Amino acid sequence: MREITLTVNGERRKAMVKDNELLLDVLRDKLYVKSVKAACWRGECGLCTVLMNDRLVKSCLVLAVEADGAEILTAEGLVKDGEPSPIQKAFIEKGALQCGFCTPAFVISSHKLLTMNPNPSDEEIRSFLSGLICRCGTYNQIIEAIRGAQKAYASR
C-alpha cells in the first residue's frame, strides 16, 4: 500500500492504495465520489469518465498510483454554491436522462467539449461522445442539452 494525493473537485484528498488499484475504485470506494459510475471495468462503457488534469479519461483504465498528484474534476465539481452548472441545468431542462446512470459521464464530457468548442456541429458532438454508452438511448436529448448550454459557454 502507498499513499497518494489527489485534488478532487478542488479539495485535496489522500488515500492509501494498492499498486494495482484503479482510479475508478479509489474515487468511488475510498473517496466516496459517487457520480463516477461503472458498468464494464474495461474501457467500453465510458461511464467512469472523469477529467484528470483537464483531460477526459476512463478512470477504470488508470491506476490510482498513476494519478498521484493529479487534479480530478467530476460532475459534482461543476456545482457551485449549490447551483448546478449550465450544462447540468440543460440536461434537466431537455430531459436528457432516464435512469440517470450514465448522466454524470455525459455531463462532464459535454462540459469538456463545450469548453473547447462552444459551437460544435451535431457530427462533432456525436463523435466526441462516441465513447459513452447510454442504455436508455437519450442521445438526441443529450445533443439538445448541449445546444441549450452552449450560449453560457460562448460567453465565458
Residues making contact with ligand FES (CB under 6 A) = 38-41, 43-48, 58, 60, 97-103, 134-136, 138
Q: Which residue has the cell 440536461?
A: 91
- Around Cβ 124, how many Cβ atoms within 10 Å? 13
Shortest Å distance, C-beta 156 to ligand FES = 27
Shortest Å distance, C-beta 81 to ligand FES: 27
CA-CA-CA-CA torsion sign (97, 128, 62, 73): negative
Q: What share of the chain is helix, strand, coil (3-state, %, to 5)?
A: 40, 20, 40
Provide DSSP, 53-76: TTEEEEGGGSBGGGGTT-EEE-GG
What is the CB neighbour count within 10 angstroms for residue 24? 24
Q: Minimal distance in Å, beta carbon 45 to ligand FES?
A: 3
- Minimum distance, C-beta of residue 60 to ligand FES, in the bound complex (Å): 3
What is the C-alpha separation between 109 and 88, in angstroms, rounded?
Answer: 11
The rounded distance, in Å, linking the Cα atoms of 4 and 131 is 28
- Minimum separation from the CB atom of position 150 to ligand FES (A): 21
Q: Which is nearer to ligand FES, 138 or 150 (CB)?
A: 138
Considering beta carbons, is residue 99 or 154 the nearer one to ligand FES?
A: 99
Q: Is the CB of 68 or the CB of 101 nearer to ligand FES? A: 101
- The CA R_g of the chain, rounded to the nearest whole Å, is 15
Report the residue number, 50 or 113, with the smaller CB distance to ligand FES. Answer: 50
Q: Which is nearer to ligand FES, 40 or 154 (CB)?
A: 40
